[in-house]
Amino acid sequence: MKKKNHVKSYARLKIKESKNVLNFDKFSFIATFVTSSGRVGITSKLPIQANGLGAEVYYNLKKNEDPTKSTVSFKIFLPSGTEYNSNVPIHGKAYTKEQGSSPIITEHDLKLFQNKTKEEDKYKIQHRITPTTYPVPEGLRMVAYLRNEIKTAGSKNSIDPQIIASIVFEEKMHGVWAYRKNLLSFYRNLGEIFPHNSYGFGEMQVGLAADLMKIDKRNPNWLDEVFVVICTDATIAMDLVAKNVIRGGKILGRKLTLQESTVFYNAGEKALNSWIKGEIPKARLSTAVYARSWKWQEAIKLALGGDVIAIPDGCEGTCRADPERQVETWKFDPSLRLSL
């Protein structure tokens, strides 16, 4: 006698066409079924097609379980493997084929980037033309590249990693091979390092880095030693970025906000005081290095999780980006110290 097949509970997820993301072939999902008897079945992580449609998934039911009372929920994962909006469950609709029900696709509106708020619009540069696709800022790649060191420095110094990441973004450093730029500057100066010149993963002045590291400047080689450290050790460089923000807070007598931190780090105490007093004209913000990160906060937050998606804040659906597939992380390479 032919054995009767198990009744199955099916489900299928589709990400609605996004205002910002060009394709979803680097995204993935899992589905969790709960049967009428309370049994739970979880699928493996499955890929999502470029158009946002996931594969049809199912769970075998037992004879005493009512297929019409099965429920399903989904979790979506970004290209880095980070779960999207983990605090909000995505409830779907399960269906069966055996009882002749039609397939039901659960559609979800993915919102990685929020629309502008009145507060964010406060420093808007008028007549700005937004292209359809933004080139990926090197600073955004750098945040993703140094994300582990940034988060470690934030935790160690009790500073929001978003502040450190915003400083890394604004300084740019010409990509993940920033030390090559420092080498070029080094050789152009005929091997001489100046205390007021900025180098390394944090683009910090050598003299300031030495002060924060409590280096004995009576050592005739202190400039060279500090230069090598900040150009080759991202863990120390990010820690110094955090310590400099703390230094600014001590000068001001309170913790700095994100925008205050970027102003102080790049332009110093005088510029910070001018910013707080509202003395800096809006037009200045279109070229100020310290303001570069202010319109990229949500993309920076994603980069801290390992996802590089070049959408500036408040793009209101007019921007598009293709998530980068390969996002590297920094690893210490002792051979670089020899090259310096």
Q: Which residue has the higher pLDDT, 1 or 6?
A: 6
> Which residues neighbour 30 within 8 Å (Cβ) at sequence distance 6 or greater?
42, 43, 44, 45, 46, 74, 75, 77
Cα 96 to Cα 39: distance, rounded to the nearest angstrom: 17
Structure tokens at 279: 């003395």
Cα 217 to Cα 266: distance, rounded to the nearest angstrom: 24
Of the candidates 304, 330, 301, which has an alpha carbon nearest to the alpha carbon of residue 144? 304
Domain edges within the chain: 8-108, 120-339
Cα 205 to Cα 244: distance, rounded to the nearest angstrom: 11
Q: In the prediction, which pLDDT does 120 show?
A: 46
Cα 10 to Cα 30: distance, rounded to the nearest angstrom: 13
Q: Which residue has the higher pLDDT, 130 or 314?
A: 314
Structure tokens at 35: 């049967």
Cα 207 to Cα 226: distance, rounded to the nearest angstrom: 8
Q: How far apart, in Å, do the first and last CA atoms of the chain sit?
A: 79
pLDDT at position 157 over 90: yes
Instruction: Find the mean pLDDT for residues 259-266.
Output: 96
Cα–chain center distance at 295: 13
Of 122-126, 208-212, 267-271, 325-329, the poorest mean pLDDT is in: 122-126
**Number of CB atoms found within 10 A of residue 323's CB:** 22
Distances (CA, A) of 278 to 231, 250, 271, 273: 35, 21, 10, 9
Segment 188-244, tens digit of pLDDT: 454 578 888 888 899 999 999 999 999 999 999 999 899 989 989 999 999 999 999
Q: Which residue has the higher pLDDT, 126 or 53?
A: 53
Distances (CA, A) of 291 to 73, 137, 268: 41, 14, 14
* CATH class of the domain whose range is 8-108: mainly beta
Of the candidates 248, 258, 265, 237, which has an alpha carbon nearest to the alpha carbon of residue 300? 258
Instruction: Find the mean pLDDT for residues 104-119.
Output: 75
Residue bearing tokens 């489900």: 11
Strands 8-15 and 57-60: antiparallel
| Torsion (CA) 143, 148, 152, 158 in degrees, nearest 10 | 40
Q: Is 325 helix (H, G, I), strand (E, B) or coil?
A: coil
Cα 265 to Cα 166: distance, rounded to the nearest angstrom: 11
Cα 22 to Cα 105: distance, rounded to the nearest angstrom: 21
What architecture (CATH level 2) is domain 120-339?
A: Orthogonal Bundle (1.10)
Of the candidates 166, 171, 173, which has an alpha carbon nearest to the alpha carbon of residue 256? 166
